[in-house]
């Protein structure tokens, strides 16, 4: 296959190894040029060295290159996968979580929602806009896949800043894809589900058997509460999930920790220590992946590279590579969850919004499945978060302190300009090297 795939943020150990493993499991993409790009030379060199030996063992399956120069990386690109972060992710995330709570915010995680999610957006979105503007200038026909969080806000910024083909991908749907077949005693490929909303804030709206068209949602609803309470997980489906399911009538897919970021009442149904433990868990997981890469690289330098290799022999479950394959082969496949511009998909949500919905993938690209109006109570819940995302992204695009302050103050987990001013002051002092200069 004569295509060029660019990995921006290729030194990332959060997504890099998964992308590389999926690439090397693909026969369709054999022969493509794979370009690694990062601003961290040491991490880029390490991942490139590991892939060189894997490529050699795979009989030079890909044309492998690396560069620190983004313009060079993007020339001739057909597909771009972005997974950048800014600064020390975990150190900054802890600040995003701790500082707003110290000043009275009820946020429960601080990664994608609440005031922490707002500052995460402030840090990362300007850099991603620089990247996509380069894409628009250098390779305007390339297909851009974003993995960087906060997903909805990053993608909304992309939509408003440039005119390129793009989607955002998140693996949070995997939990439902695991549990629903077990609950219904069916195989995943026998089921068609519609989970719709915003990233980390979607709801199971429809469920049917593919062949017969039988509505499986009543069966799910009869059994879901007992099933998930037996498998209760403090990081996933727990008390907050059960409360929202009971009150709104539709099962939320993202789990307590992620969905809780957007809900003012989340703190009532989650434990502070559980959220701290989740941040620590994520940190430990990332450190483990990075240390593993370091170990393999050291063994490579000593000519003791393990026979089993660094890459996984099984698909990661991430959908970037399968979607690229589907576009190139025109398989016309159904994807359960993709972040794309609304554009008439959900008619009772703002159209200038990024929604997470099922899509059809073909040689024409990715097109959302039209859903029309979703239930009013769900739409009302989502519109609150949509309003905050609107203000947050506009604050970055216009470098407006007033809009930034409004986004923080109006967030359900703050609700006060006085608190917002205190949070803004301390966070801008702590993170001044990473934040835009608001006017």
Instruction: Let me know if residue 32 belongs to a domain.
Output: yes
d(CA 408, CA 114): 8
d(CA 294, CA 13): 10
What is the separation of C-alpha 247 from the centre of its chain, rounded to a whole number of angstroms? 27
Instruction: Let me know if residue 26 belongs to a domain.
Output: yes
Q: How many CB atoms lie within 10 A of CB 19?
A: 23
Backbone angles phi, psi at 206, to 5 degrees: -155, 150
Backbone angles phi, psi at 148, to 5 degrees: -70, 140
Angle between helices 89-102 and 114-138 (to 10 degrees): 140
The pTM for the full model equals 0.97
Instruction: Let me know if residue 96 belongs to a domain.
Output: yes
Calculate the alpha carbon distances from 194 to 33, 74, 150 in Å. 35, 35, 22
Instruction: Let me know if residue 83 belongs to a domain.
Output: yes
For residue 162, the enclosing domain spans 4-170
Instruction: Let me know if residue 431 belongs to a domain.
Output: no
Strand (E) or helix (H) holding 284: helix 272-301
Kindly report the CATH number assigned to the domain that includes residue 72: 3.40.50.720
Calculate the alpha carbon distances from 333 to 28, 328, 330, 362 in Å. 16, 12, 8, 7
Instruction: Let me know if residue 421 belongs to a domain.
Output: no
Q: Is the distance from CB of 61 to CB of 84 less than 8 angstroms?
A: no
Instruction: Let me know if residue 151 belongs to a domain.
Output: yes
d(CA 375, CA 244): 14
From the candidates 171, 174, 258, 281, which is the catalytic residue? 171
What is Dmax (Cα atoms) for the chain? 62
Residue 258 bears catalytic tag: no
pLDDT tens for the 439 residues of the chain, in order:
899 999 999 987 777 788 999 999 999 999 999 999 999 999 999 999 999 999 999 999 999 999 999 999 999 999 999 999 999 999 999 999 999 999 999 999 999 999 999 999 999 999 999 999 999 999 999 999 999 999 999 999 999 999 999 999 999 999 999 999 999 999 999 999 999 999 999 999 999 999 999 999 999 999 999 999 999 999 999 999 999 999 999 999 999 999 999 999 999 999 999 999 999 999 999 999 999 999 999 999 999 999 999 999 999 999 999 999 999 998 889 999 999 999 999 999 999 999 999 999 999 999 999 999 999 999 999 999 999 999 999 999 999 999 999 999 999 999 999 999 999 999 999 999 999 999 9
DSSP string, 85-99: --S-HHHHHHHHHHH
Instruction: Let me know if residue 67 belongs to a domain.
Output: yes
Domain count, the chain: 1
d(CA 159, CA 110): 24
């Amino acid at each position: 296959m004569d295509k060029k795939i660019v990995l921006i943020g290729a030194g990332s150990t959060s997504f890099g190894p998964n992308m590389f493993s999926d690439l090397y499991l693909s026969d369709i993409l054999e022969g493509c040029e794979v370009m690694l790009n990062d601003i961290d030379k040491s991490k880029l060199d390490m991942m490139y060295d590991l892939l060189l030996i894997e490529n050699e063992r795979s009989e030079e399956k890909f044309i492998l290159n690396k560069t620190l120069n983004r313009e060079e990386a993007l020339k001739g690109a057909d597909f771009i996968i972005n997974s950048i972060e800014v600064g020390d992710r975990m150190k900054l995330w802890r600040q995003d979580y701790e500082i707003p709570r110290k000043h009275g915010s009820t946020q429960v995680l601080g990664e994608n929602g609440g005031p922490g999610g707002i500052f995460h957006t402030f840090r990362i979105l300007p850099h991603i806009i620089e990247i996509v503007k380069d894409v628009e200038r250098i390779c305007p026909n390339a297909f851009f896949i974003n993995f960087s969080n906060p997903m909805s806000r990053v993608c909304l910024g992309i939509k408003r800043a440039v005119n390129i083909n793009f989607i955002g991908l998140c693996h949070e749907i995997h939990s439902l894809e695991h549990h629903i077949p077990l609950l219904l005693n069916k195989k995943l490929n026998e089921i068609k589900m519609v989970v719709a909303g915003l990233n980390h804030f979607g709801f199971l709206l429809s469920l049917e058997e593919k062949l017969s068209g039988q509505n499986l949602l009543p069966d799910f609803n009869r059994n879901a509460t007992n099933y998930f309470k037996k498998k209760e997980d403090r990081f996933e489906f727990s008390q907050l999930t059960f409360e929202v399911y009971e009150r709104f009538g539709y099962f939320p897919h993202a789990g307590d920790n992620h969905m809780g970021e957007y809900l003012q009442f989340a703190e009532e149904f989650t434990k502070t220590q559980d959220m701290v433990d989740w941040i620590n868990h994520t940190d430990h997981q990332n450190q483990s992946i990075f240390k593993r890469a370091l170990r393999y690289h050291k063994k490579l330098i000593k000519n003791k590279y393990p026979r089993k290799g660094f890459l996984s022999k099984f698909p990661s479950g991430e959908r970037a590579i399968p979607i690229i394959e589907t576009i190139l082969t025109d398989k016309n496949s159904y994807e359960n969850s993709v972040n794309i511009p609304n554009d008439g998909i959900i008619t009772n949500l703002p159209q200038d919004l990024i929604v997470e919905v099922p899509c059809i993938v073909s040689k024409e690209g990715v097109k959302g499945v039209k859903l029309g109006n979703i239930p009013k109570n769900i739409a009302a819940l989502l519109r609150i978060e949509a309003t905050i995302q609107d203000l947050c992204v506009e604050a970055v695009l216009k470098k407006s302190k007033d809009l930034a302050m409004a986004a923080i103050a109006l967030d359900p987990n703050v609700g006060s300009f006085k608190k917002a001013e205190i949070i803004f002051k301390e966070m801008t002092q702590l993170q001044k090297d990473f934040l835009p200069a608001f006017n």
